[in-house]
Structure 1
Amino acid sequence: MTITSETLDAIAGLMRDAAAQEILPRFRKLGDQDVAEKTEASDLVTIADTGAERVIKAGIEKILPDAAFVGEEGVAADPTLLAKLKDAELAVVVDPIDGTFNFAHGISAYGVMAAIVVNGETVAGLIYDPMGDDFMVAEKGGGAWLKRADGSTSRMKVAAPVALADMLGTASVAFMPREKRATLLANTAKLRYAASYRCAAVEYRAFASGGLHFFTYFKLMPWDHLAGVLIGQEAGGYIARYDGSPYRPDHLDGGLLGAPDKESWQELREKVFTI
Structure 2
Amino acid sequence: MFHDRDLDSVLTIVKHAASLEIRPRFRRLIEGEVEEKKSSIDLVTQADLLSEKHMTEALQARWPHALVVGEEAAETDRSLIDKLKQADLAFVIDPVDGTFNFQAGLPIYGTNMAVVVKGETVAGIIHDSVLGDTLVASKGSGARFLREDGTVNPIAVAAPADLSMMVGTISINDLAYEERRRVAGNLAKTKMAFAYNCSAYEYWLVATGKVHFIGHYKLYPWDHLAGVLIHQEAGGFTARFDGSPYKPGDLTGGILSAPDRDSWEQVLREIVHA
Aligned residues: 274
The 5 Å alignment of 1:1-275 reads 1-5=1-5, 7-274=6-273
Q: In structure 2, how many angstroms separate the alpha carbons of the residues matched to 1:174 and 1:4?
A: 37
TM-score by length of 1: 0.97
CA contact (8 A) 2:126 2:135 kept: yes
Aligned partner letter, 2:49: T
Q: CA deviation at 1:127?
A: 0.7
Q: CA deviation at 1:141?
A: 0.5
Q: In structure 2, how many angstroms separate the alpha carbons of the residues matched to 1:191 and 1:4?
A: 39
Aligned partner letter, 1:268: V
Aligned partner letter, 2:237: Y
Residues 40-85 of structure 1 show CA distances to partners (whole Å, capped at 9, x for unaligned) of 1100000110000011011101222221010001111322322221
Q: In structure 1, how many angstroms separate the alpha carbons of the residues matched to 2:139 and 2:248?
A: 14
Moved more, 147-156 or 102-111: 147-156
Residues 7-28 of structure 1 show CA distances to partners (whole Å, capped at 9, x for unaligned) of 1111111111111111111111
SS in 1 for 2:230: helix
SS in 2 for 1:32: coil
Q: In structure 2, how many angstroms separate the alpha carbons of the residues matched to 1:113 and 1:38?
A: 20
Residues 224-259 of structure 1 show CA distances to partners (whole Å, capped at 9, x for unaligned) of 000000000000111100000000011111101111
SS in 1 for 2:131: coil
Unaligned runs of 5+ residues in structure 2 are none
Q: In structure 2, how many angstroms separate the alpha carbons of the residues matched to 1:45 and 1:86?
A: 27
SS in 1 for 2:241: coil
> Structure 1: which 4+ aligned runs deviate by more than 6 Å?
none
Identical pairs, percent: 46
Residues 146-197 of structure 1 show CA distances to partners (whole Å, capped at 9, x for unaligned) of 1112221000100001111010012210123433222111111110111111
Q: CA deviation at 1:2?
A: 4.4
SS in 2 for 1:205: helix
Q: In structure 2, how many angstroms separate the alpha carbons of the residues matched to 1:244 and 1:175?
A: 22
Q: In structure 1, how many angstroms separate the alpha carbons of the residues matched to 2:65 and 2:143?
A: 26
CA RMSD of aligned residues (A): 1.2
Q: In structure 2, how many angstroms separate the alpha carbons of the residues matched to 1:95 and 1:142?
A: 23
Q: In structure 2, how many angstroms separate the alpha carbons of the residues matched to 1:86 and 1:261?
A: 27
SS in 1 for 2:169: strand
Q: In structure 2, how many angstroms separate the alpha carbons of the residues matched to 1:62 and 1:151?
A: 27
Aligned partner letter, 1:116: V
Q: In structure 2, how many angstroms separate the alpha carbons of the residues matched to 1:9 and 1:180?
A: 43
TM-score by length of 2: 0.97
Q: In structure 2, how many angstroms separate the alpha carbons of the residues matched to 1:84 and 1:143?
A: 27
Aligned partner letter, 2:72: E
Unaligned runs of 5+ residues in structure 1 are none
Q: In structure 2, how many angstroms separate the alpha carbons of the residues matched to 1:250 and 1:114?
A: 15
